[in-house]
Amino acid sequence: MAEGLTARGIDVTQVEMLPEVLPTVDVDLGALVRAELVRQGVDVHTDATVTGISRAVQGLFVEGRDKAGALLVWNVDLVLVVVGVRPDTDLLVRAGAATSPRGAVVVDESMATGLPHVWAAGDCAVTHHRLLGTTYLPLGTTAHKQGRVAGENALGGRARFAGSLGTQVVKVFDLVAARTGLREHEATSAGFTPVSTTATPDDHKAYYPGATPITIRVTGDSQTGRLLGAQLVGARGAEIAKRVDTYATALFHEMTVTDLTELDLSYTPPLGSPWDAVQMASQAWVAEHQRDAERSTLGQP
Amino acid sequence: MAEGLTARGIDVTQVEMLPEVLPTVDVDLGALVRAELVRQGVDVHTDATVTGISRAVQGLFVEGRDKAGALLVWNVDLVLVVVGVRPDTDLLVRAGAATSPRGAVVVDESMATGLPHVWAAGDCAVTHHRLLGTTYLPLGTTAHKQGRVAGENALGGRARFAGSLGTQVVKVFDLVAARTGLREHEATSAGFTPVSTTATPDDHKAYYPGATPITIRVTGDSQTGRLLGAQLVGARGAEIAKRVDTYATALFHEMTVTDLTELDLSYTPPLGSPWDAVQMASQAWVAEHQRDAERSTLGQP
């Protein structure tokens, strides 16, 4: 697997067709994740396409092309193929279920397919998104919640799926990247007027050892002030995974970015700040995007 | 400072008048914090009262009594006295400001004292609590938010303090203890009908190394299902400080315990579970306290 030796002693090469790794976050935040991969010794190729995998006398070979079309060849021991998800709905389609353009089975919020006594949940089904309406967003957390709703209703219940926000997190060596809600281009497509601000507040008070900055991009609607999404990248140990949950819970309740700064969140110097990092990033958004008149309604009655 | 050598090489003795350390959480959760203190070599005396501090030729002495009245004496180098907070409001009282029974200056939600052009904020002022109404709860987070409201209004703004939930967290060596909202006795005093459930979900999936249980006590109203409070104790690194924030944000929005299980929170095996620990603890409460009929309304329309 080419040059590059990780901390774990395995040579790893990553070949990504898109311009940056982790395309679920904005490209400059994905670049932070790539930097961590490189720092850990991974040989990262972006804008590169795998064209074939073949077995020869000398072993297993992966062939690809870089952006300029030049040939790339790696002699490897093991290939992990990660190329996305496609719903396998053949059984349901043959039974008469409707599918969406992405091929996922259409269900309502009770996870009913429209076929009598048939409910569907998980990666095969469309997702109700609280900001986007019906979409396709296969995630484990969503599958669990949908499955519970479908199971409840199959037994005669009246449960409804509360909806996804696209909340997700990934650990990449010693870095954690998370997001919830919408990024700007997604929000624009959904009819919002998104504006974003990026801040780098410390995870806890700098005078207590070990403080580390978190890169937080807050996206909100410039017309209504409503929070639309957040992306966070920072060190493992900076409680990124559960900080994104505060944004997710705020999104669930359609809070404005300003209102988020009023939440009574926990604080102790080794673990936070009197205004938590999620609030400092929100305040940065407010300072940049809210007109003075709107700012003076802080803590609206 | 008696026997007991901490990891940091300083002999520490803690003398606590109450039956358990950290009386801001329930006594059995405080016992977990005491166990960590003892594990780190601190000599902990509960139900013990300090009666005097004196300097002699041989050095500084602290005298006290245990529960049975027996004399306790420690020869020490340094004494840290932590005996609570009393508002120092003399200046404002002489100017004519009203005070509450605890001696804090009475303010409304705009932090106005009633005296012309005088606002008050922080440890000297009463606290508006979203579940308790007017109370006294001096915390740094609250002081910051109140101060901003007072400052905004002193400049002619119309800001209002959104209210405290009593959210707090403390790190004790390698343990973290947090709480938000009300404990049972506080909820009962406030007119609720609280019931609690304690669960010990892992901070992340057990198959990924390093999983550690978090002790979580969820308190909710048995009549309405409304979330009233949560207490969490667990290892540093288990993202306790920001997990309590999810409960705090849910409390801010008066969510039911059931609704909390529907939030779209983040998940990756090294950092969480498909149902996060805060949701597993909530599900345990629902299973124990909600009647079948109520449970079937999961994800109410």
What interface predicted TM-score (ipTM) does this complex get?
0.93
Give start and end residues of each alpha helix (H) in A4-46.
27-39
User: Which CATH fold would you assign to the domain A168-290?
Assistant: FAD/NAD(P)-binding domain (3.50.50)
Mean pLDDT in residue range B39-64: 96
What does the domain layout of chain B look like in residue ranges? 13-76, 90-154, 168-291
- pLDDT tier for residue B290 given thresholds of 50, 70 and 90: confident
Angle CA(A129)–CA(A132)–CA(A134) in degrees, nearest 5? 60
User: Is B90-154 CATH 3.50.50.60?
Assistant: yes
Q: Would you call B263 and A243 a contact, using CB atoms and an 8 Å cutoff?
A: no
Same fold, B13-76 and B90-154: yes
Shortest distance, CA B199 to any CA of chain A (angstroms): 19
Best mutation site among A107, A110, A141 for testing chain B: the one with the most B CBs within 10 Å? A141
pLDDT(B300) > 60: no
Mean pLDDT in residue range B261-285: 97
Whole-number Å distance between alpha carbons of B63 and B75:
9
Q: Would you call B264 and A252 a contact, using CB atoms and an 8 Å cutoff?
A: yes
- Please state, rounded to an integer, the average pLDDT across all residues of chain A: 93
| Residues A9-59: tens digit of each pLDDT | 799 999 999 999 999 999 999 999 999 999 999 999 999 999 999 999 999
Is B264:A164 a contact under the CB 8 Å cutoff? yes
From 3.50.50.60, 3.40.50.261, 3.40.50.150, 3.40.50.300, which CATH number describes the B168-291 domain?
Answer: 3.50.50.60
Among the partner residues B159, B264, B266, nearest to A178 by beta-carbon distance: B266
Q: Would you call A266 and B244 a contact, using CB atoms and an 8 Å cutoff?
A: yes
**Per mean pLDDT, which range of A166-170, B59-63, B83-87, B139-143 is the poorest?**
B83-87
For B13-76, CATH gives: 3.50.50.60
Q: Taking CB atoms and an 8 Å cutoff, what residues of chain B touch A249?
A: 246, 249-250, 253, 263, 265
Q: Would you call A266 and B168 a contact, using CB atoms and an 8 Å cutoff?
A: yes
Among the partner residues A149, A241, A272, nearest to B271 by beta-carbon distance: A241
* Token pair for B269: 């095996």
Q: Would you call A264 and B244 a contact, using CB atoms and an 8 Å cutoff?
A: no
Among the partner residues A140, A159, A264, nearest to B167 by beta-carbon distance: A264
For the four alpha carbons of A288, A294, A295 and A299, in that order, the dihedral sign comes to negative
Best mutation site among B123, B202, B245 for testing chain A: the one with the most A CBs within 10 Å? B245
Mean pLDDT in residue range B151-169: 97
For the entire predicted model, the pTM comes to: 0.94
Instruction: Name the nearest CA neighbour of A81 among A103, A62, A57, A102.
Output: A62
| Residues A97-151: tens digit of each pLDDT | 999 988 999 999 999 999 999 999 999 999 999 999 999 999 999 999 999 999 9
Q: Taking CB atoms and an 8 Å cutoff, what residues of chain B touch A130?
A: 264
What's the distance, CA B4 to chain centroid? 27
* Nearest-by-CA chain A residue for B170: A268
State whether residue B197 is helix, strand or coil: strand
- pLDDT tier for residue B268 given thresholds of 50, 70 and 90: very high
pLDDT at position B294: 55
Q: Would you call A267 and B165 a contact, using CB atoms and an 8 Å cutoff?
A: no
Q: Would you call A264 and B180 a contact, using CB atoms and an 8 Å cutoff?
A: yes
Is B197:B284 a contact under the CB 8 Å cutoff? yes
- Count A/B contacts: CB-CB distance under 8 Å: 194
Q: Read out DSSP for A235-264?
A: ETTS-HHHHHHHHHHHHHTT-BHHHHTTS-
pLDDT at position A101: 83
Q: Taking CB atoms and an 8 Å cutoff, what residues of chain B touch A238?
A: none
pLDDT(B6) > 80: no
Shortest distance, CA B255 to any CA of chain A (angstroms): 10
pLDDT(A2) > 90: no
Q: Would you call A249 and B262 a contact, using CB atoms and an 8 Å cutoff?
A: no
Best mutation site among A249, A251, A253, A297 for testing chain B: the one with the most B CBs within 10 Å? A249
